[in-house]
Amino acid sequence: MSKHEVVVITGASAGLGRATVREFAKHGAWIGLIARGHDGLEGARREVEAEGGKALVLPTDVADAEQVEKAAARVEAKLGPIDIWINDAMASVFSPIKKMTAEEFKRVTEVTYLGYVNGTLSALKRMLPRDRGTIVHVGSALAYRSIPLQAAYCAAKHAVLGFHASLRTELLHDKSKVRTTMVQMPALNTPQFGWVKSRLPRKAQPVPPIFQPEVAARAIYYAAHHPQRREYYVGHSTVQAIVGNKLAPGLLDQYLARNGYDAQQHDGREDPNRPNNLWEPVPGDHGAHGSFDRRARDYSVEWWLDSRRLLLGLAGMAGAAGAIYAALRGHRLDKIYDILEDWLPRTA
C-alpha cells in the first residue's frame, strides 16, 4: 500500500478541478487526473510533479461508465488503493429552455449527473471491500435553487443532491466506514464561462459575489478529510440561496424572472461561433482561473466560520430568516423584496 494519499479528481484539467489538483498536490497526494482535455491534463500533471508528487493522466469522458472504470483500475495499478474520489466534472449550456435541444439536455445530464454516478460506482467497487475511503461530490447552490438560462445544469445538480442523500443513507445503514459528503459552491471565477455552449446575446458571467476557485478547492480538501458532515456550504451567497429558497421560493422565482437574465451576462456581445466544450474539449491548457480575477474574492468569511463550526454564521442566517419571517407576518411584500435585494441567491 502506498504511503501517499491516493486521490482521483474528475474535471481535473481546468477550473475548480484544476485548483483542487493543486490543493491536494501541496499536501503530497498522488493524483489520478480525469478529464477529456489532453493539454490541461498535462499541465495539471506538471504542477503535481513540481510539488514533488506523482500524477497519472487519464483522458476520460466521465459520461462513459466503461472509460471511468478503466481509469479507476489504472489508478489502483499505478498509484495504489484509492483513498479519496472527487466528482467535479461538469457540462452546461447557457440558453432558454425553449431553444434547447433534447440532445443537449441529455449530454449535460450524462456528464454532470451520470458522470458522478459512474465515478461513484467505480469508487465503491474498490472502497467497500476495504471498508474505507471518501467520495466527495462537488455541488452548487443551484442544487437547491434553480435559476433561468441554466436548466440542464440546475436539474443535474438537483439529481446529484438526491443521489448523494441516497448513497449516504445506504452507507449509514450498512455501517460502512466509506464516507460521502457534498460541497455546495457559490459563483466561481473559472474558465467555463468562456467555453460553455451559449445562446446568450452577451457574454456569460458568474453572478456576483464571485469567489476564486482556490477558496472552493480548500473547502473540498477540508471536506474530504472531514466527511462526517452531510454537506458543506461555501460562501455566504450559497447559504443565502439555500435558506432563502426554503423560506420564500415563490418570491425568488419572481425576483429571478426579473433579474436572473441580466445578472448572468456582462458587457460584450457573445460570438455564437466560438468553440464550446459540450461535445469535445476546447484545445489548450486553460488553467484554474477565468477572466474575472479583478472581481473575485480570494477568501470567504462564511467558509472560515463554517469549517470551524462557529455559531456566528448561524446567527447571521437566523437574523436574515427572522427578517423575512417578520415581513411575511406583516404582509410587507415591499420589505421582503428589499431584504432579498441584499440577501439574494447570487449564484452561478
The DSSP annotation for 73-119 comes to: HHHHHHT-S--EEEE-----EES-GGG--HHHHHHHHHHHTHHHHHH
Mean pLDDT (the chain) is 91
What pLDDT, on the 0 to 100 scale, is given for residue 315?
47
How many whole angstroms separate alpha carbon 188 and alpha carbon 346?
Answer: 11
Indicate if 153 belongs to the active site.
Answer: yes
State the number of CA atoms in the 13 A half-sphere of 113 facing the CB: 19
Q: Provide the pLDDT confidence category of residue 321 given band limits of 50, 70 and 90.
A: low
Q: How far is CA 303 from CA 134, 139, 231, 335, in A?
A: 21, 15, 12, 28
State the number of CA atoms in the 13 A half-sphere of 118 facing the CB: 25
* Out of 149-163, 191-205, 292-306, least confident range: 292-306
Q: Provide the pLDDT confidence category of residue 299 given band limits of 50, 70 and 90.
A: confident
Nearest to 344 by CA among 250, 245, 235, 213: 245
Question: Quick one: cell of 102?
Answer: 433534447
The pTM (predicted TM-score) of the whole model is 0.88
How many whole angstroms separate alpha carbon 223 and alpha carbon 110?
Answer: 25
Q: Provide the pLDDT confidence category of residue 333 given band limits of 50, 70 and 90.
A: very low
Q: Provide the pLDDT confidence category of residue 323 given band limits of 50, 70 and 90.
A: low
For β-strands 202-204 and 265-269, DSSP reports them as: antiparallel
Question: Quick one: cell of 115?
Answer: 458522470
The architecture of the domain spanning 6-266+292-343 is: 3-Layer(aba) Sandwich (3.40)
- Is pLDDT at 204 greater than 70 in this prediction? yes
What pLDDT, on the 0 to 100 scale, is given for residue 320?
53
Set 116, 144, 153, 221: catalytic member: 153
45-69 per-position pLDDT tens digit: 999 999 999 999 999 999 999 999 9
